[in-house]
Chains A and B, each alone.
Chain A
Amino acid sequence: MPEAPPLLEVHNLSKRFPIRRDILGRPTSWLSAVDEVSFTIRHGETFSIVGETGCGKSTLGQLIIRLQPADTGSVLFDGEAVFSSSRHHLGQLRQRMQLVFQDPFSSLNPRMKVGAIVSEGTHRLRLGRAERRRRTQEVLEMVGLAHSYAARYPHELSGGQRQRVAIARALAANPEFLILDEPVSALDVSIQSQVLNLLHDLQQELTLTYLFISHDLAVVRHISDRVGVMYLGKLVETADRDELFGNPLHPYTQALLSAIPRPQARGQHRDRISLEGEALSPIDPPRQCRFASRCFRAIDRCWTEVPPTELQKPEHDAACFNIAPPTDSNGGSVMRE
């Protein structure tokens, strides 16, 4: 999907959490959750962030809609600065951007009925009571739930139904941009595909733009237009989906992709990259490549400098000093087409 105008531009976004303080309450130790992350999402596309647990994906999503304050960096939504906008203006921006959480058991208030939960999403639209009701019914229908569900409590619903309610709540505000924070990873595999298809259909119908946060490579491959790979708070590689899955440049991406199980004929041999070494702690990380300790291609420079994100090919960024085609840990080339 080439060259739609950008909807969301993220520049050098960083967030650190203080984890230890001295007697005077001054932080002495920081956990670096998101570090100098930049990317752009175009109108109507699905941009995915993949990464392992604890790499800062969810924090990134919450920083973008200012649910948590960022330390440095900026976010432009449709050309408007999110971080410097006034309280009133932020409210308007938040109506256009909505967040869907990972765990539908925690994201729905157990004491509220589904109808009330969904209609809370319309709260920015300043509707009358009857319009509010109609809007609630409308979005419930959009996510494939019968009207009668409005009178249910969340505990009466299954995980998939709950996630539909959470999506309906986000849609109720009539947004343009959805941040989907692991929207299917808490669901059974059979339900996952239903919810993914629902998200796909909704995107077509309502021309939505998605930021899809996930750790599941198969899901990401299925749903994304472009993909960013995160490792310990750093965005290490960004590319089109097919380019990233077909021709990964960053050693972490290469290792990640080689871990996907693939069917193979008997006797056929496939090299897998297995990472060794221990992951760097995100607490007070030294100035070096954060992946160096586990990298099979690390060179001296990786231990003394932070590799900048550079355009390696058109539409393909990676942050690495030693870009090379995929190799296994012994330096041999991995079989590919």
Chain B
Amino acid sequence: MSALQDAALWHEPPTPEQTRRHQLHAGLRLLARNRLALIGGGISLVFVLIGIAGIVIIGFDRFHDLYLDQTLDSAVILRAPFTGENVLGTDALGRDLLARTVAGIGVSIMLALAITALTLILGMVLGTVAAFYGGWIDVVISAVIDVTWGFPIILLAVALSGVFDRGIEVVILSVPLILWAGFARIVRGEGLSLRERDFVKAARAMGVPDWKIILRHFVPNLIAPTIVMGTYYIPVVIVFEGALSFLGLGTQPPTPSLGLMAAEGRQHLLNGDHWVVTVPGVSLVLMVVGFNTLGDGLRDILDPRLRGVR
């Protein structure tokens, strides 16, 4: 075998250290060139930091006065931004809008992450199972996907709120119960092509158990669409949470939520006290634009084939 051992010395591959540095550089260069992702990432990062502050405010009782302290004193209520000690003004109950907005962003981001994670897990499991097993299992799951995808989230939320008490759990349930279908469809499509790849056939020929094939060969090759869809779902979920809360189905007072704040303030909109609505509204729009831009940028970097796809 000496000829073979010589063959091993054709050339030594680069060390893992070199390779990793090379990949890191390539990744950073791609990110730098993609200004969209960079801007979106920056905005998202700012909102995530604000969100963490918001969660801290909600989490500790001693901070509750910041956003719950209310009054009927006409000197304090509906104070415009930058006019008094409240930087972003106060609402009709004299509560500090800055603190309420920060807390609302916290609620939004926490819910968005939890709901997105749930959506991705549901979609990943059902999508890979449908693609891997095919046959009647695929037919059933695909039928469920088609039916689910056409169902309006708001309608399901209304229906669920009739069954359960209104509140956050309705939002948590209704959004992923519909949204998973879109992700499952993408996972199923990718999975169908993975199933025909030779390395999956090789694993089956070697008798590797199904669950190991799914974990080892399917899931790691689905990471790119998962990240892309994850960043796409976060703003979608934020918007739905806002909409449901605006309708009174989501977050319940006194917990602040951007949608709820907009709903509470809308009667003051025409009186000229527009900031009660515009402060949470503009925050919501900025946050959604930030995450969306980041999602688009990541999509371009990670999966050029999905470019322009919605």
Contacts and interface: CB of A to CB of B under 8 A. Distances in A.
Interface of A: 62, 65, 67, 90-91, 94-95, 98-99, 101-103, 106-112, 117, 120-121, 123-124, 141-146, 148-149, 151-152, 156-157, 166, 169, 173, 194, 197-198, 201, 205
Contact of B198 (A107, A145, A149): A107
B217 interface: yes
B13 A109 contact: no
Given A67-B205, A107-B198, A201-B1, 17 more contacts: A67-B201, A94-B205, A94-B207, A95-B207, A101-B201, A101-B202, A107-B202, A111-B220, A123-B207, A143-B4, A144-B5, A144-B8, A146-B8, A146-B9, A148-B13, A173-B206, A198-B4
19 contacts: A90-B207, A98-B206, A99-B205, A101-B198, A109-B216, A109-B220, A111-B223, A120-B203, A124-B207, A144-B1, A145-B8, A146-B8, A148-B15, A149-B13, A156-B13, A157-B13, A166-B202, A173-B206, A201-B1
Nearest to B4: A144
A165 to B, nearest CB: 11
Nearest to A103: B198
A173 B204 CA distance: 14
Nearest to A158: B10
B187 to A, nearest CB: 16
Listed residue (B3, B4, B199, B201) with the most chain A CB atoms within 10 angstroms of its CB: B199
Given A106-B199, A201-B1, A111 B12 contact: no
B13, B208, B220: most-surrounded residue (chain A CB, <10 A)? B13
A201 B3 CA distance: 10
The SS class assigned to the B binding surface is helix
Contacts of B3: 197
A106 B198 contact: yes
Contacts of A149: 13
Contacts of B205: 65, 67, 94, 98-99
A117 B202 CA distance: 10
B163 interface: no
Contacts, number: 88
Interface string B1-36: 101110111001111100100000000000000000
A108 B199 contact: yes
A148 B272 CA distance: 72
Contacts of B217: 109
A146 B12 contact: yes
Contacts of A123: 206-208
A170 to B, nearest CB: 8
Q: Lowest 5 CB-CB distances: which A-B pairs, in order? A: A107-B198, A144-B4, A111-B220, A101-B198, A144-B7
Nearest to B15: A148
A148 B12 contact: yes
Interface centre among A98, A120, A194 (most CB of B within 10 A): A120
Nearest to A108: B199
B252 interface: no
B221 interface: yes
Name the residue in A95, A103, A144, A166 with the highest tally of chain B Cβ atoms < 10 Å from its Cβ.
A144
B206 A194 contact: no
A253 to B, nearest CB: 30
A141 B6 CA distance: 11
B307 interface: no
A156 B207 contact: no
Contacts of B201: 62, 67, 99, 101, 107
A58 B202 CA distance: 13
Contact of B4 (A103, A111, A169, A201): A201
A62 B198 CA distance: 11
Given A110-B221, A111-B220, A67 B13 contact: no
Contacts of A91: 207
Nearest to B212: A123
A148 B1 CA distance: 19
A58 to B, nearest CB: 10
A111 B221 contact: yes
Given A144-B5, A156-B14, A99 B208 contact: no
A127 to B, nearest CB: 14
Contact of A152 (B13, B198, B221): B13
B12 to A, nearest CB: 7
Contacts of A143: 4
